[in-house]
Each structure stands twice: as C-alpha cells, then as structure tokens.
C-alpha cells in the first residue's frame, strides 16, 4: 500500500472512488486494517464508550487520545490517521492548536473536531500552523446532552440548511475533510455534492465520499446496542481479516450502507 495523504483522499473524491475508514485504538488492529484494505483510521473519542465503558465520550482526555494515536501509528506507517480532539479541548484557538499539536506529535495526520461555523477561527489558526483539520457535523457526540440523547440531526428544513451552511463555513476556514454522522441520506448527498473536500459518512447513507464505522460495531462486540447504521461483518464472514475485507468491498461497491442502514 502506498502512503495515504490528503492528496490521495482528494483524488479519490474526484475520481469517485469510495474512501474506507474505521476506528482503531491499538497497533494490532491498525495493522489488521492496513493489511485488508482500509485507507483511513480514526482514533476516536469513542474509546470512552467502547474501551472505557462510559455512557458518552466526555470523560476522554487529550493525553488518552495521544496514547492511542501512538499505538495506532506503530501498527501502520502508511494509513491516514485522524485523531479526535476531546470535549472542551478546543474552545478557543490557542487551546485547539496546543492540544492538536500533541496529537500530531503522537502520529496523527489530521485532527478532527466537532461543530459548525463557530470553529472558524480555531480551524484557520490550526491550518496556518500546519495542522490539517477534519470537521464533524450532524450527531456530534460531545453535544449529546444538548441534543437530549443520540438523536438524528437535520430532519427539519431549517436544521438541514444550517448544516449545509456550516459545512461550507468549515471548508472555507480550511477544513480538508468532513465527517457527517446520523443525518438523512438526502442531506448528506446535498452536502457532499456542494463541497470540494471529501465527506465521510456514518449513518448518512451511501452517497458520501466514504464510510466509517466504529470497529467494535463492525464485528458485533459493542456493549449495549448495535446502531441501525452498522452491520456485523464478522457474523457474515467468520473471521476478522475477511470481515474487514468485506466491509471495504461493500463500501467500494456501494452495497454498504444499504437502505436499511440509512435515515430518511
């Protein structure tokens, strides 16, 4: 595998090649994903739920994300690694740059943060300092208490219009990638078509430029419930490498996610 870069992802969008992404938190799974077709790994604050057993992601610290980023980077030098900035670590440009720098030094290629137009100054400051940025709109888990739970976003026309406006603002500020989570598939397509940067969906239909799943959902071992937008590929294939390969194949072909995994 050639080294994956921002240019690689942009070329894939332009050529309509789907981007495959999974979360990972250690070297072993990073190597497994590298060997079986995944292009992007997210070291997500989802670790607060799937590794630490929390009810949400809010207790995760920047040091914990940095630790797991180092572990993931040890598993692959070629994969494109995105690291999450945790809750309240980017409330102003100075904090955003400081905490993002720690994650970049740990091995990340790009930093992800949740929110819309209000992040303009932080994103601009980060990109000016050489830190690539991934935005995140829709169901942003760090705002779960504002939403009143893990709920679908963007169903109301006003919400949809605001999300499109936010997406354009993030791109204008310098974001080079955008995650869209738990939004109607029609809205995800609209945003994807109007942006020049790649979009990666999770619970956003199959019209985004790529897909991401939490690795535990991919193999059916998440605590609690399996989200509607996920699929247990291990159950279908019987072993881990084959499950990852099947996920990548289905994303590339457009077979996953199917209509049963999307929101209207």
Does the annotation list 264 as a binding residue?
no
Distance set, CA 148 to CA 45, 183, 235 (Å): 19, 16, 32
Check 39, 64, 171, 181 and give the catalytic one.
181
Does the annotation list 26 as a binding residue?
no
Does the annotation list 102 as a binding residue?
no
Does the annotation list 262 as a binding residue?
no
CA gap 145, 17 in Å, rounded: 36
180 Cβ partners below 8 Å, 6+ apart?
A: 137, 138, 188, 191, 192, 199, 200, 201, 202, 204, 208
- Residue 260 falls in the annotated catalytic set: no
Q: Helices H, strands E: what count in the chain? A: 12, 8
Does the annotation list 185 as a binding residue?
no
Local structure of 119: helix, strand or coil? helix
Residue 4 and residue 81 in contact, taking contact as beta carbons nearer than 8 Å: no
Annotated binding site: 45-46, 84, 112, 114
> Which positions are catalytic?
181
Binding-site positions for 3-methyl-2-oxobutanoate = 45-46, 84, 112
Annotated binding site for Mg(2+): 45, 84, 114
């Amino acid at each position: 595998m050639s080294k994956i870069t921002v240019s690689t992802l942009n070329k894939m969008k332009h050529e309509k090649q789907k981007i495959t992404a999974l979360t990972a938190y250690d070297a072993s799974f990073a190597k497994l994903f590298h060997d079986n077709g995944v292009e992007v790994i997210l070291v997500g604050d989802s670790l607060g739920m799937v590794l630490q057993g929390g009810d949400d992601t809010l207790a995760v610290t920047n040091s914990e994300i940095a630790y797991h980023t180092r572990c993931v980077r040890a598993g692959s030098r070629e994969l494109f690694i995105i690291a999450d900035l945790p809750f309240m670590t980017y409330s102003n440009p100075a904090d955003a740059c400081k905490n993002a720098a720690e994650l970049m030094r740990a091995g990340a290629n790009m930093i992800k943060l949740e929110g819309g137009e209000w992040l303009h100054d932080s994103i601009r400051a980060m990109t000016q300092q050489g830190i690539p940025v991934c935005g995140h709109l829709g169901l942003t888990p760090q705002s779960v208490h504002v939403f009143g739970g893990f709920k679908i976003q963007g169903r109301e026309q006003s919400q949809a219009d605001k999300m499109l406006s936010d997406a354009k603002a993030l791109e204008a500020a310098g974001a080079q990638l955008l995650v869209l989570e738990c939004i109607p598939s029609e809205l995800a397509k609209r945003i994807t078509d109007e942006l020049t940067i790649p979009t990666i969906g999770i619970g956003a239909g199959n019209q985004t430029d790529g897909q991401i799943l939490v690795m535990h959902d991919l193999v059916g071992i998440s605590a609690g419930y399996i989200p509607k937008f996920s699929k247990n590929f291990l159950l279908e294939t019987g072993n881990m490498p084959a499950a990852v390969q099947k996920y990548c194949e289905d994303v590339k072909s457009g077979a996953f996610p199917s209509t049963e995994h999307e929101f209207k």
